[in-house]
């Protein structure tokens, strides 16, 4: 019973950390650029399909496909930001919502056209399959790997934002665009690069998540709520907030599906509405 | 002397409006084969109208408006399955149920900003979808509600296979509600909503209770959506899970921006254009159809804000003689 519970907790944390990885870029877009981007899941899908294609068509090793998934999604993000997104930073939230729903629909149709409507398989290398025995518990190797990767990336992200010059520029632009521009920071370039970074992380998450989340053309719509949820509940513009929110969400979702399967996704939607009522501005409110 | 600035908007019916309402009547005689499509357009038009009230007039972005449409559809459907097939009381019951839920939800919606509103409406829509999906013993789950039998309208007119009764029924309800809503948005209450949309923080300064007004219009919008759902259920004699689905909320937003938000006729025209286009292109793969709706949305946002009605207004304004200042 206890082992069971720890197993669910472990799976929930693995799932939550994956959600965090994909959503953290969205937190920046929504918090920093004040842009409601419902199409964020499409960038994750790009990463997923890049991974699958490289694995099956070119036979690249799984680990090698991950950086390429990051890169591909980052490039797509950068191009879209430069051409389309930036035109709508000053637009109303409604316009942003409509624009990004439009992009989402297009990405779903595009993926169906290119890859067909079916679920994509992913062949994980042997060392990532099976279980690892830790203190008498059987833990999925892949989930352990997932948690490890996300911890590393979160640390890297933290160092990037807190310790580097670029990070300082991001923080300055988040806090006050006008003042940042006045200090000679090229805010528009910082925005573009940050957007690309966020999209890239989503793409990496999409690649890593094929085994856990699955990959088919409906991906951006199916998980849209989850990514939005992580950011809305966590508090847009921070890293800590979405991390906490993603872990809570992941654990509750897995626990809900495990213990009360007849209720299904209802658990998570209820949790979200309750959390939003309690914290209308998110768990971690960004200091202005 | 010009006192127009002191008056409410001119509420008199313009000839163009009367002509507009003669269009569906004319289509009844001109295109008898398309009665079902025209009825559906009118029902979806009513649904779009209900979203326009809360989004176009009050500025609340909702991603889950299908929740109220679905509630109305299931209310009317369940009543009918359990032997209460009388259509008008079914519609009223749907309006009441959707209105009550809308009223409860409105308390959550007035809190927080756009993002929280978006998430709450989306979340409630998804919750209802999941609830209807899981409660298959009541709703029929994915198979939908079967065995609906809509009773005679006024106890006289039977719902026929050609959709004649359904047509006049939908037209009657739409027109009646339109008259009421038209009056509503041109009333001081309607004007205060526009004020809130344009700058909510300043409205309390002139003594307007912003939250109460937003709750009121959200409730009304929910009730009207419930009526539209009930009409669809009764005229097609079927309710499926898709009445609650997110795609329906998204398509509704598309129709509204296509026609033009904040204008009652925009909602109707947007619904008509969208439904006719869908009917004409439905032979294509659904995936392609989705691609074109997506492209369409992106283009509207980038190049044609204001939709069809906004564009028409700009063209009219060009030809209108300038009034002396």
Domain coordinates in residue numbering, chain A:
2-223
DSSP A217-269: TTHHHHTHHHHHHHHHHH-TT-SHHHHHHHHHHHHHHHHHHHH-TTTTTHHHH
| Residue B14, in any domain of the structure | no
Query: Best residue in B107, B249, B291, B305 to probe A by mutation, most A CBs within 10 Å?
Result: B291
> B268: closest CA among B62, B8, B17, B27?
B17
Is B6 within the bounds of a domain? Answer: no
pLDDT at res. B286: 67
Q: Is residue B178 part of a domain?
A: yes
Q: d(Cα A268, Cα A217) in Å, to the nearest integer?
A: 23
Task: Tell me the ipTM for this assembly.
Answer: 0.80
Query: Distances from the Cα of A76 to the Cαs of A73, A193, A224, B10, B225, in angstroms?
Result: 5, 12, 18, 50, 39
CATH number at residue B242: 1.10.3470
Q: What is the pLDDT of residue A78?
A: 94
* A13-33 burial code (b ≥16 CB/10 A, e <16): bbbbbbbbbbbbbbbbbbbbb
Alpha helix positions (H), chain B: 15-30, 35-51, 66-81, 87-109, 114-134, 136-139, 164-185, 188-199, 210-236, 246-259, 264-281, 286-303, 307-319
- Residue A61, min C-alpha distance to chain B (Å): 32
- Torsional class of B192: left (φ above 0), alpha (ψ -120 to 50), beta (otherwise): alpha
Query: By residue range, what is the domain housing residue B229?
Result: 27-319
Q: Give chain B's residues under pLDDT 70.
A: 1-10, 112, 151, 153, 155-157, 161, 200-201, 207, 283-287, 320-325
Instruction: Name the band, by pLDDT with cuts 50, 70 and 90, for residue A49.
Output: very high
CB of B119 within 8 Å of any CB in chain A?
yes
Determine whether the interchain pair B297/A112 forms a contact, defined as Cβ–Cβ distance below 8 Å: no
Higher pLDDT, B5 or A225: A225
What pLDDT digit, counting tens, does each position of B31-63 carry? 777 778 888 888 999 999 999 988 888 888 888
On whether residue B64 sits in a domain, the answer given is yes
pLDDT at B38: 83
What would the pLDDT profile of B148-173 be if each residue is shown by its tens digit? Answer: 777 676 766 677 767 778 888 888 88
pLDDT value at residue B3: 47
A141-192, pLDDT tens digit by residue? 888 888 999 899 889 988 888 888 888 888 887 777 788 888 888 888 888 8
Asked if B29 and B161 count as a contact pair (C-beta separation under 8 A), the reply is: no
Instruction: Please judge whether A98 and B293 are an interchain contact, meaning their C-beta atoms are less than 8 angstroms apart.
Output: no
A76 has pLDDT over 90: yes
Say if strands A131-134 and A137-140 run parallel, antiparallel, or are unpaired. antiparallel
Residue contact A105–B293, C-beta within 8 A: yes
User: pTM to 2 decimals?
Assistant: 0.83
pLDDT given for residue B9 in this prediction: 62
Question: By a Cβ cutoff of 8 Å, what residues of chain A touch chain B?
Answer: 30, 36, 84, 87-88, 91, 93-95, 97-99, 101-110, 112-113, 117, 217, 221, 225, 228-229, 232, 236, 262-266, 269-270, 272-273, 276-277, 280-281
> Do the Cβ atoms of B24 and B172 come closer than 8 Å?
no
Sort out which chain B residues have CB atoms less than 8 A from A270's CB and list them: 127
Q: Is the pLDDT of residue A101 over 80?
A: yes
Domain tally, chain B: 1
For a pLDDT cut of 90, what percent of chain A falls above it?
20
Least confident of A234-238, A284-288, B193-197: A284-288
Helix axes B210-236, B87-109, angle to 10 degrees: 150
């Amino acid at each position: 019973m206890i082992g069971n519970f720890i197993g669910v907790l472990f799976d929930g944390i693995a799932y939550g950390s994956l959600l965090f990885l994909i959503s953290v870029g969205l937190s920046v877009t929504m918090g920093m650029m004040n842009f409601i981007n419902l199409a964020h899941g499409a960038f994750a899908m790009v990463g997923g399909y890049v991974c699958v294609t490289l694995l099956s068509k070119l036979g690249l090793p799984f680990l090698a496909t991950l950086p390429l998934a990051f890169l591909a999604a980052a490039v797509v993000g950068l191009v879209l930001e430069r051409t389309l997104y930036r035109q709508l930073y000053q637009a109303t939230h409604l316009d942003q919502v409509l624009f990004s729903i439009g992009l989402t629909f297009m990405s779903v149709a595009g993926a169906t056209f290119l890859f067909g409507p079916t679920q994509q398989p992913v062949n994980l290398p042997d060392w990532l399959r099976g279980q690892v025995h830790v203190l008498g518990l059987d833990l999925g190797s892949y989930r352990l790997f997932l948690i490890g990767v996300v911890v590393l990336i979160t640390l890297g992200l933290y160092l990037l934002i807190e310790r580097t010059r670029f990070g300082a520029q991001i923080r300055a632009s988040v806090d006050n665009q006008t003042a940042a521009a006045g200090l000679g920071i090229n805010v528009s370039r910082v925005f573009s690069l940050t957007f690309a970074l966020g999209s890239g992380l989503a793409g990496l998450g999409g690649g890593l998540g094929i085994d856990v989340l699955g990959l088919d053309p409906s991906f951006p719509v199916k998980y849209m709520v989850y990514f939005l949820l992580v950011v809305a509940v966590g508090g847009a513009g921070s890293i800590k907030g979405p991390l906490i929110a993603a872990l809570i969400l992941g654990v509750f979702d897995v626990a809900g599906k495990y213990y009360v399967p007849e209720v299904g996704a209802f658990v998570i939607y209820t949790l979200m509405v309750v959390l939003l009522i309690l914290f209308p501005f998110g768990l971690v409110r960004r200091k202005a | 002397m010009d006192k127009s600035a002191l008056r409410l908007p001119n509420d008199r019916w313009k000839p163009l409006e009367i002509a507009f309402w003669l269009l569906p009547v004319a289509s009844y005689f001109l295109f008898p084969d398309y009665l079902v499509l025209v009825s559906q357009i009118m029902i979806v038009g009513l649904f779009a109208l209900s979203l326009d009230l809360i989004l176009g007039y009050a500025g609340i972005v909702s991603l889950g408006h299908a929740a109220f449409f679905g509630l109305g559809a299931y209310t009317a459907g369940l009543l009918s399955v359990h032997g209460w097939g009388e259509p008008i009381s079914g519609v009223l019951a749907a309006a009441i149920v959707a209105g009550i839920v809308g009223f409860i939800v409105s308390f959550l919606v007035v809190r927080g900003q756009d993002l929280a509103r978006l998430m709450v409406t989306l979340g409630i829509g998804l919750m209802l979808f999941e609830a209807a999906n899981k409660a298959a013993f009541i709703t029929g789950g994915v198979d939908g509600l079967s065995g609906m039998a809509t009773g005679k309208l006024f106890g006289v007119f039977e719902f026929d296979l050609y959709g004649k009764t359904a047509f006049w029924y939908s037209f009657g309800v739409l027109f009646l509600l339109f008259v009421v809503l038209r009056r509503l948005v041109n009333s001081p209450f309607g004007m205060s909503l526009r004020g809130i949309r344009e700058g909510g923080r300043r409205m309390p300064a002139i003594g307007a209770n912003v939250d109460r007004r937003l709750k009121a219009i959200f409730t009304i919008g929910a009730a009207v959506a419930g009526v539209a759902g009930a009409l669809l259920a009764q005229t097609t004699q079927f309710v499926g899970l898709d009445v609650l689905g997110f795609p329906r909320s998204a398509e509704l937003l598309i129709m509204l921006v296509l026609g033009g938000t904040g204008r009652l006729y925009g909602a109707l025209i947007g619904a008509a254009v969208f439904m006719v286009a869908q009917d004409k292109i439905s032979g294509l793969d659904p995936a392609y159809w989705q691609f074109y709706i997506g492209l369409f949305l992106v283009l509207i946002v980038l190049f044609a804000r204001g939709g069809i009605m906004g564009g028409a207004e700009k063209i009219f304004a060009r030809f209108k003689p300038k009034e002396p200042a």
